[in-house]
């Protein structure tokens, strides 16, 4: 059956398709510029508009052809034929929204949309319901489906192929609409070309006959109105978008200008920063290195750009692998800080602290690694120095107390695990204080360094020697089998010092005292072992005279604990009013009467009872308590003697002074204060000094004694003859009285030499215009010898023991004296000399 075509309606169908495609593209542009629900709504509008354009083109195209018979269409099927077009277009849009145009995705979307268009066309043809049925040429049918897919793919490429950041221009949008319209029309009219009707065909659909041209115009008008409304809305939205883009562009230009300014500032900062700022690709190709790197690395920055292997020479060989591992961790997404060394061309090594992180794109792909490195060489050196000082003695380089205690604790842990013993040696240099005072502190420091080297030379592997302070050293003997092994090692140490040491050109014979304690025999804790080793060392020094070793015993521990208890009690004795002064009279051998008293300290403890001075005086000296105790003694003695003088007794008082007291710069002021408080004439006070005090810091002692002498106080040398001083000291110190030590008095009837020494001292004193006092006189024979040989005064049990203040006052009131007339002169010449 022949087919006739209305050319005007064909042209109208193509125009409708073109206008609809133009409107649909506007919706797609709005969709791409929107987000969220708005984008979804624009996508639906675009899909429906494009489907309606294709359907309207198809419907008007169907009205454009005629048959010699009457034709009519099934209304419901005709309307429903738009559904496949809408569904295919919508699915295609969904597939391509917010996705990159990959081949698989665009092909899949094109196939879906093309099949939807083909389904729309052939479901619309089915609305004719011809008898016999419409015949389709299979080849042309297939070709029409392929054209539909190709047309759909092209339409999608036009709609989604441009850059999302740019809106399509009107020219491009119009061109796209033309391409889409002609492509869809080509599919429709190709499909119609493959359609044939039998000669006896007739249409089974009944209905009112409507003029085809009028119906086409009505449908075209309705569709054009809808498209116009949609286009108007799209263009209004496009205007809004364009205004937003204009404002965004303006803001972008301003922001870009600001960014350039910031970039210039940052560039200036980076170039002037006193740190290395660097950036590399993930493959470690250098992107940026600021100029300060040339100062840090001492190499031109251009060298790093020209030679990619230069880092192998810059990074310290021992740290290169560490740096590579660090960069791998940073690239894995873990920003980290690393300290490593770099080597300058001249061989100088510098420490850097480098912090880096990986910069990534929106998809998480690594773009580059940025880092900042600071030169921490000075800080590192300071930290190393502080760490050294925290653990080592700065003078000898040996471990200090902190390091030693840690090592001792570790050694004890190991000894417990292995069930072996551990030895601890406490060492002290004999007479070091005298050597230091004689040669000076710098000499003493050099001597300590020599001793430290000697001790290190005898160590076994695993042993530790440390200096705890001054001339105190300790040695940890790790894992010894028997306690005797520690003593054997101590003998080895003593033998090392049998040979003299050469220090600053001086040859010195040095000896040391060693105390030994053993784990677990003498303790299981570090502090206990150290304390016991110290106790043994002091026993070696005090009772054995040094140059030997002593192993700790329980008996030593008992005495050490007694010393601790005594020291604790001594700290509270003064405030608890436990001290008392006894007074021993000094007899004038010219008159036989009491001329003076010596104040002697006594301690009465509520629990320990009366404690002899020999037990606590040295302890008070060692702890420094002698200063406050000595001040109390001085003030109490001055006040007591002042009270006796007010009763009419003419007396002087002698008070012993310690070396610690003479080291106090305020000593003269303290003495003046005591005299003033008591109202005592300075001429009535006598300060007793030992020879050893005068030897210690002689220059400083002379200065203090001269100040005291200026006040009007008398000075005496106690226990004269027992020290190792030269008699020349008597000319240097402002001494008034020499007290002959009681050991010589006691030996008068046993040793002729004792008498000779006494006579020499008396003769020396008279030659220097000094008075003499004999101590410890207990027999009449001793009195006779001293009196007949010109001694000026005596004290001792022969006349009186030391008495409490009450008994001393009673003795004064009785007026007790010596009857010197009964003494028969052994030698008349000596008697004549005396009188």
Phi and psi for 567 in degrees, rounded to 5?
A: -65, -40
Q: Taking 70 as the threshold, does the pLDDT of residue 698 lie above it? A: no
* Residue 190: Cβ within 10 Å count: 17
For residue 473, give the nearest of 561, 386, 397 by alpha carbon: 397
Residue 580 has which token pair? 């008392």
| Residue 520 preceded by cis peptide, ω within 30 | yes
**pLDDT value at residue 813:** 93
Most confident of 132-141, 401-410, 554-563: 401-410
* Residue 737: Cβ within 10 Å count: 22
Say which DSSP state 822 is in. Answer: G
Residue 95 has which token pair? 């597939």
Is residue 267 domain-resident? no
Q: Taking residues 169-193, what's their average pLDDT?
A: 69
**pLDDT value at residue 65:** 63
E strand or H helix that includes residue 705: helix 698-711
Cα(116)–Cα(640) distance, integer angstroms: 130
Cα(177)–Cα(120) distance, integer angstroms: 20
E strand or H helix that includes residue 714: strand 714-720
One domain for residues 228 and 278: no
**pLDDT value at residue 93:** 73
Give 758's Cβ-side CA count (13 Å radius).
Answer: 30
**pLDDT value at residue 513:** 93
Is residue 250 domain-resident? no
Task: Indicate which CATH number applies to the domain containing 466.
Answer: 3.30.70.270
| 835 confidence band (pLDDT: 50, 70, 90) | very low
CB-CB contact of 120 with 54 (8 Å)? yes
One domain for residues 163 and 234: yes
> pLDDT tens digit string along 305-352?
888 888 888 999 999 999 999 999 999 888 789 999 999 999 999 999
**Distance, C-alpha 771 to centroid of its chain:** 68
| 792 confidence band (pLDDT: 50, 70, 90) | very high
Q: Which of 242, 259, 288 is the last residue of a domain?
A: 242
Q: Which residues pair with 518 in a beta bridge?
A: 423
Residue 153 has which token pair? 């793919």
Is residue 234 domain-resident? yes
Give 376's Cβ-side CA count (13 Å radius).
Answer: 17
Strand order of the β-sheet with 366-375 is 286-289, 276-280, 366-375, 349-360, 336-343
Is residue 87 domain-resident? yes
Q: Taking residues 349-377, what's their average pLDDT?
A: 90
For the ranges 33-42, 569-578, 804-813, the lowest mean pLDDT is seen at: 33-42
**pLDDT value at residue 830:** 40
CB burial class (10 A; 0-12, 13-18, 19+) of residue 612?
A: exposed
CB-CB contact of 387 with 403 (8 Å)? no
Cα(395)–Cα(397) distance, integer angstroms: 6
Q: Taking residues 231-253, what's their average pLDDT?
A: 70
One domain for residues 478 and 587: no
Q: How many domains does the chain have?
A: 4
Say which DSSP state 824 is in. Answer: P
* Residue 312: Cβ within 10 Å count: 10
Residue 608 has which token pair? 């320990």
Q: Taking residues 526-534, what's their average pLDDT?
A: 92
For residue 13, give the nearest of 68, 69, 50, 53 by alpha carbon: 53
* HEC readout, 731-789: HHCCCCEEEECHHHHHCCCCCHHHHHHHHHHHHHHHHCCCEEEECCCCCHHHHHHHHHC
One domain for residues 665 and 739: yes
> pLDDT tens digit string along 282-310?
988 888 888 888 888 999 988 888 888 88
One domain for residues 821 and 713: yes
Cα(341)–Cα(150) distance, integer angstroms: 65
Q: Taking residues 452-474, what's their average pLDDT?
A: 91
Q: Taking 80 as the threshold, does the pLDDT of residue 598 lie above it? A: yes
CB-CB contact of 532 with 561 (8 Å)? no
Long-range contacts of 330-335 (CB under 8 A, 24+ apart): 330/356, 330/357, 330/358, 330/369, 330/371, 331/282, 331/358, 331/366, 331/369, 333/358
Is residue 571 domain-resident? no
One domain for residues 367 and 323: yes
| 208 confidence band (pLDDT: 50, 70, 90) | very low
Q: Taking residues 559-577, what's their average pLDDT?
A: 83
Is residue 566 domain-resident? no
**pLDDT value at residue 423:** 94
With tokens 């008293």, the residue in question is 597
Cα(702)–Cα(662) distance, integer angstroms: 10
Residue 405 has which token pair? 């205690």
CB-CB contact of 777 with 795 (8 Å)? yes
Q: By three-state DSSP, how is residue 508 classified? A: strand
One domain for residues 185 and 146: yes
One domain for residues 367 and 438: no
Is residue 829 domain-resident? yes
Residue 372 has which token pair? 């900042």
Task: Indicate which CATH number applies to the domain containing 320.
Answer: 3.30.450.20
Q: Taking residues 662-688, what's their average pLDDT?
A: 93
Longest dimension (CA), the chain: 192
> pLDDT tens digit string along 481-517?
888 999 999 999 999 998 899 998 888 888 999 999 9
Most confident of 181-195, 230-244, 612-626, 816-830: 612-626
| 43 confidence band (pLDDT: 50, 70, 90) | confident
Q: Taking 60 as the threshold, does the pLDDT of residue 1 lie above it? A: no
One domain for residues 782 and 684: yes
Instruction: Name which residue leads in pLDDT, 211 or 246.
Output: 246
**pLDDT value at residue 384:** 79
One domain for residues 624 and 704: yes
For residue 121, give the nearest of 24, 192, 177 by alpha carbon: 192
Q: Which of 383, 411, 432 is the last residue of a domain?
A: 383
Burial letters 494-510, b for 16+ CB under 10 A, else e? beebeeebebeeeeeeb
Q: Taking residues 374-389, what's their average pLDDT?
A: 84
Q: Taking 90 as the threshold, does the pLDDT of residue 713 lie above it? A: yes
Q: Which residues pair with 477 in a beta bridge?
A: 423
| Beta strand ranges found along 430-547 (DSSP E) | 464-469, 472-480, 501-503, 506-508, 512-519
Residue 811 has which token pair? 């003795």
| 560 confidence band (pLDDT: 50, 70, 90) | low
One domain for residues 641 and 785: yes
**pLDDT value at residue 73:** 65
Cα(683)–Cα(195) distance, integer angstroms: 153
**pLDDT value at residue 556:** 75
> pLDDT tens digit string along 116-170?
777 777 777 776 666 776 777 788 878 877 877 887 777 667 666 655 444 455 6
E strand or H helix that includes residue 106: helix 103-126
CB-CB contact of 786 with 825 (8 Å)? no
Q: How far is CA 438 from CA 386, 469, 545, in A?
A: 33, 20, 21
E strand or H helix that includes residue 353: strand 349-360
Is residue 619 domain-resident? yes
| 565 confidence band (pLDDT: 50, 70, 90) | confident
| 525 confidence band (pLDDT: 50, 70, 90) | very high
Averaged confidence pLDDT in the chain: 82
**pLDDT value at residue 833:** 38
Cα(387)–Cα(402) distance, integer angstroms: 11
Q: By three-state DSSP, how is residue 476 classified? A: strand
Cα(249)–Cα(259) distance, integer angstroms: 14
One domain for residues 49 and 166: yes
Q: Taking 60 as the threshold, does the pLDDT of residue 564 lie above it? A: yes
Q: How far is CA 801 from CA 611, 773, 776, 780, 783, in A?
A: 17, 16, 10, 15, 16
Phi and psi for 827 in degrees, rounded to 5?
A: -130, 115
With tokens 């100062």, the residue in question is 295
Q: Which of 192, 225, 242 is the last residue of a domain?
A: 242
> pLDDT tens digit string along 735-760?
999 999 898 999 988 888 889 989 99
**Distance, C-alpha 114 to centroid of its chain:** 71
Residue 449: give the domain boundaries.
393-552
| 663 confidence band (pLDDT: 50, 70, 90) | confident
Q: Taking 90 as the threshold, does the pLDDT of residue 786 lie above it? A: yes
């Amino acid at each position: 059956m022949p087919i006739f075509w209305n050319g005007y309606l064909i042209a109208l169908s193509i125009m409708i398709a073109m206008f609809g495609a133009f409107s649909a593209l506007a919706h797609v542009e709005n969709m791409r510029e929107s987000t969220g629900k708005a984008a979804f709504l624009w996508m639906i509008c675009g899909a429906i508009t494009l489907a309606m354009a294709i359907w309207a083109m198809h419907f008007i195209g169907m009205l454009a052809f005629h048959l010699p018979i009457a034709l009519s269409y099934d209304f419901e099927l005709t309307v429903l034929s738009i559904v496949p077009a809408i569904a295919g277009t919508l699915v295609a849009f969904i597939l391509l929204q917010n996705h990159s145009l990959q081949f698989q995705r665009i092909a899949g979307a094109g196939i879906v949309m093309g099949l939807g268009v083909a389904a729309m066309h052939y479901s619309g043809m089915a609305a004719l319901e011809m008898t016999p049925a419409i015949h389709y040429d299979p080849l042309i049918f297939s070709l029409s489906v392929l054209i539909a897919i190709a047309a759909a793919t092209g339409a999608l490429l036009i709609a989604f192929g441009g850059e999302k950041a740019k809106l399509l221009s009107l020219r491009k949008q119009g061109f796209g609409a033309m391409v889409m319209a002609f492509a869809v029309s080509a599919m429709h009219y190709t499909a119609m070309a493959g359609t044939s009707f039998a000669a006896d065909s007739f249409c089974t659909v009944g209905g009112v006959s409507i003029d085809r041209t009028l119906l086409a115009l009505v449908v075209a008008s309705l569709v054009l109105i809808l498209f116009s409304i949609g286009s108007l809305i799209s263009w209004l939205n496009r205007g809004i978008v364009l205004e937003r883009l204009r404002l965004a562009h303006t803001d972008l230009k301003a922001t870009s200008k600001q960014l350039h300014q910031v970039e210039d500032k940052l560039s200036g900062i980076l170039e002037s920063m006193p740190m290395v700022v660097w950036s590399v690709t993930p493959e470690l190709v250098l992107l940026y290195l600021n100029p300060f790197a040339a100062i840090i690395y001492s190499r031109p920055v251009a060298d790093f750009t020209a030679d990619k292997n230069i880092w192998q020479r810059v990074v310290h060989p021992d740290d290169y692998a560490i740096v590579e591992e660090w960069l791998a961790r940073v690239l894995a997404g873990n920003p980290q800080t690393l300290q490593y060394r770099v080597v300058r061309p001249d061989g100088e090594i510098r420490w850097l602290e480098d912090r880096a992180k990986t910069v990534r794109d929106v998809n998480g792909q690594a773009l580059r690694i940025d880092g900042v490195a600071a030169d921490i060489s000075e800080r590192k050196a300071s930290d190393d120095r502080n760490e050294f000082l925290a653990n080592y003695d700065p003078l000898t380089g040996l471990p200090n107390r902190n390091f030693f205690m840690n090592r001792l604790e570790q050694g004890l842990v190991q000894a417990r695990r292995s069930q072996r013993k551990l030895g601890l040696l406490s060492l002290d240099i004999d007479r070091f204080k005298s050597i230091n005072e004689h040669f000076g502190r710098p000499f003493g420091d050099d001597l300590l360094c020599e001793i430290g080297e000697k001790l290190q030379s005898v160590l076994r592997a695993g042993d530790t020697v440390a200096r705890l302070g001054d001339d105190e050293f300790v040695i940890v003997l790790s894992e010894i089998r028997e306690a005797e092994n520690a003593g054997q090692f101590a003998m080895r140490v003593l033998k090392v010092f049998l040979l003299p040491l050469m220090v600053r050109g001086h040859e010195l014979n040095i000896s040391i005292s060693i105390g030994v304690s053993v784990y677990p025999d003498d303790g299981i804790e570090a502090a206990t072992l150290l304390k016991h080793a110290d106790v043994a060392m002091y026993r070696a020094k005090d009772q054995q005279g040094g140059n030997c070793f002593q192993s700790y015993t329980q008996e030593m521990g008992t005495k050490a604990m007694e010393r601790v208890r005594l020291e604790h009690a001594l700290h509270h004795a003064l405030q608890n009013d436990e001290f008392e002064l006894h007074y021993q009279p000094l007899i004038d051998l010219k008159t036989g009467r009491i001329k003076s008293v010596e104040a002697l300290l006594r301690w009465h403890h509520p629990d320990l009872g009366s404690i002899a001075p020999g037990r606590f005086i040295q302890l008070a000296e060692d702890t420094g308590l002698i200063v406050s105790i000595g001040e109390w003694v001085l003030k109490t003695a001055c006040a007591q003697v002042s009270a006796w003088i007010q009763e009419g007794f003419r007396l002087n008082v002698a008070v012993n002074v310690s070396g610690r007291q003479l080291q106090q710069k305020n000593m003269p002021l303290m003495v003046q204060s005591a005299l003033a408080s008591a109202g005592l004439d300075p001429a009535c006070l006598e300060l007793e000094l030992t020879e050893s005090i005068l030897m210690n810091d002689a220059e400083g002692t002379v200065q203090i004694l001269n100040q005291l002498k200026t006040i009007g106080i008398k000075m005496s040398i106690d226990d004269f003859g027992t020290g190792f001083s030269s008699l020349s000291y008597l000319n240097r110190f402002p001494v008034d009285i020499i007290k002959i030590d009681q050991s010589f008095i006691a030996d008068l009837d046993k040793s002729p030499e004792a008498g000779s020494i006494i006579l020499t001292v008396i003769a020396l004193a008279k030659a220097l215009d000094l008075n003499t006092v004999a101590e410890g006189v207990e027999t009449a024979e001793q009195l006779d010898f001293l009196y007949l040989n010109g001694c000026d005064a005596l004290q001792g049990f022969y006349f009186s023991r030391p008495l409490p203040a009450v008994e001393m006052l009673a003795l004064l009131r009785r007026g007790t004296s010596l009857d010197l007339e009964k003494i028969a002169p052994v030698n008349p010449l000596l008697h004549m000399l005396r009188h």
